[in-house]
Structure 1
Amino acid sequence: MDASTIRFTVFISVLLICAITEHYRPQRPLSQPKAFRWLNNLGLTSVNALVLYCTMPLLAIEAALWVQQHQFGLTYWLGLPMPVSLVLTVIALDCAIYWQHRLFHSWSILWHLHKVHHADQDLDVTSGARFHPIEIWLSMWIKITLVIALGISPLAVIIFEVLLNATAMFNHSNINLPAYIDKPLRKLLVTPDMHRVHHSTQRSETDSNFGFCLSIWDRIFNSYISQPALGHQKMHIGISRFRDPQEQRLDKMLTQPFRNK
């Protein structure tokens, strides 16, 4: 299978597993009809795929193939063995995504793009793929730059993209994990309860728990909050200025970065 087929297969598999699990073990009741949210969130995901296909001269995997062909980038210059290079570059990409996420929160012009993700008033598996097309476009260029600079192999790119996609859907899922599972799991991975704090309407909580896959970055860089102040059942999710249910429509999401109401 090629990289696109692998990513799509994992996407569908994780989507179905998380959707079934959150149906039977939901953490919070949904405030809006699931069909309405799924139609629009997954519609935005489809728009993003189309934008990348039509506007990007290359994707991260093509950049990695060029890097491999020309033996370009830090890992090749250092002469690192393939297994070592593979592990280190996947970890480095995850750390980079953590800092990219923090940048999109701290820089106003980028926050206007990223708030589309935060404007979702419920969290479920589809929230993990809900991003504005311009943010997805910028993120791809950042990833390509890292791939070339670090000399990241095609295999590392595939592994990272599959992990990022799968963990993003998992940690946005509305799954009620028992404490005896959540507590040890979040020592390594970002869990749904850990990431839900990040979607609080309280800005101090929104600016925390930036990790997508590995949870260690938030602890290392002092951005970790264990639980929301109001608890998972009483906390408010979303963006205060976009509380109208119609703001969850695809056309509204596409215009949210360019308006304040």
Structure 2
Amino acid sequence: MADQIPEGVQTHIPNVARMYDYYLGGKDNFPADRQAAEKVLEIIPEARHGALANRAFLGRAVGFLAESGIDQFLDIGAGLPTQNNVHQVAPGARVVYVDNDPAVLVHGRALLGTNDNVTIVEGDVRRPGEILGHPDVRAAIDFDRPVGVLLLAIMHFVPDEDDPLGIIATLRRAMAPGSHLVLSHAAVDARPEASDGVAKVYDRASSSFVGRTGKEIVRLFDGFDVVEPGVVNLPEWRPEPGTAVPYRNIGSYFLGGVGAVSDGG
């Protein structure tokens, strides 16, 4: 990645997208990212499992939506491209990846620029109106038809003062009936004593971490009809048959769910 560092990128500051890449076992990260990620792993050793579970949840949820007939996706806070991206899980679908990180944009365009069905756009989840109104988004996504909107492991970097409920409501109002929201969010219920330590690491990174309880995360689905099995720890969301589901019965630690927009939505 070093030969693709865009101007202005500060490699000495831990970056949440590159830290996530490190958790996943990727190579698109720098020493500052690895050091910060290792500090998180010292506090929560299962953080790497959470990142991998989140990636697997993306695959299952997008596969579910594709099988339901959705053929266009808006992935906000997409992060660095890795294996089993949305366009790979749903081949032939139109996909818009949105991120506010210049390194993510450069790297993503280098890897995905030849795919006519894939668009990569600069945007910030905290300003959803700008994303929805972006000309490249409007050219790729027909909001009069069902769309899958993905907010995976991004809302726990959005503080309450930026109105996460309002952000999601803005997105919901733009989604036609039959559309679905896919959302995942780290929860603090199972390890409340670890939240402050993790937050202190991310306070020195590109985005601060916001610890929320399971009840607070469920509220993010207000206005959607949540599909079965509800908002659950990621490995428990429609696991593949025969798959062992770890960390059962320890409380909420990394929740995910899929919410549908009804005709009255």
**TM-score normalised by structure 2 residue count:** 0.28
Larger radius of gyration: 1
| Higher RCO (CA-CA < 8 Å; seq separation 6+) | 1
Comparing both structures, which one devotes a greater share of its residues to helix?
1
Q: What is the TM-score normalised by the length of structure 1?
A: 0.29
